[in-house]
Amino acid sequence: MSASPAKETQTMPLCVQILMYDGVEEQDAIGPRDVFGHAVRAGGLVETTLVRPSAPGEVTCFFGTRVRVPTAWEPTDTDLLIVPGGGDRLIHDPDVLRNLVRAQEAGVVVAGVCTGVMVLSAAGLTKGRPCTTHHLAKAELAAQGGRVIDARVVDDGNLVTAGGVTSGIDLALWMITRECGASVAIGVESVMEYEQRGVVWRSS
């Protein structure tokens, strides 16, 4: 499905949280962070915060990069939450899974990048819904009840999912298009010298 025209007038800031944890894949998290940062310079109203479950602190990413995360995750205190992939630690954290459900029930748009979508699946958020993930995890996502769509980004309203690794850049660009307007997204693409890949599948 193709996207409908995006709004071009943004009146309220888009608040974004990116959930950081030990084992997170660097590109899954930093790709979207870069997009949201450039969106501000392109005229978008975006506030982005790196958050960590339970408490602020340092995380060690998948390839050993250490990142200081200054803010504890408050699940309902954002418009958009992005869960990057890179490991299964969050899948086995019942507090995180409960808080993901709590966030979506409070009106937060919950987004997953790569195997971060499997965390959303463990929380029950993808069951029966259009979604996607890294190609190596699609069969598992389907077995867990997700309606897997072969698209780079799948937008089902309050659930947005993306394929592997660099797809997080496309997810973030799509969310900028959707919430801030296409002109802001075009500005980001120009600065990053990157063009959105693939067609975004939308349920409405």
Q: Is 114 a catalytic residue?
A: yes
Sheet with 159-162, side-by-side order of all strands:
71-72, 46-52, 14-19, 80-83, 109-113, 159-162, 153-155, 200-202
Distances (CA, A) of 105 to 47, 126, 159: 21, 14, 11
What is the H or E stretch that residue 51 is in?
A: strand 46-52
CA distance 58 to 66: 7
Which listed residue (61, 114, 131, 180) is catalytic?
114
Nearest to 67 by CA among 77, 75, 55, 57: 57
The per-type count for the chain, helices as H runs and strands as E runs, is 6, 12
Catalytic residues: 114
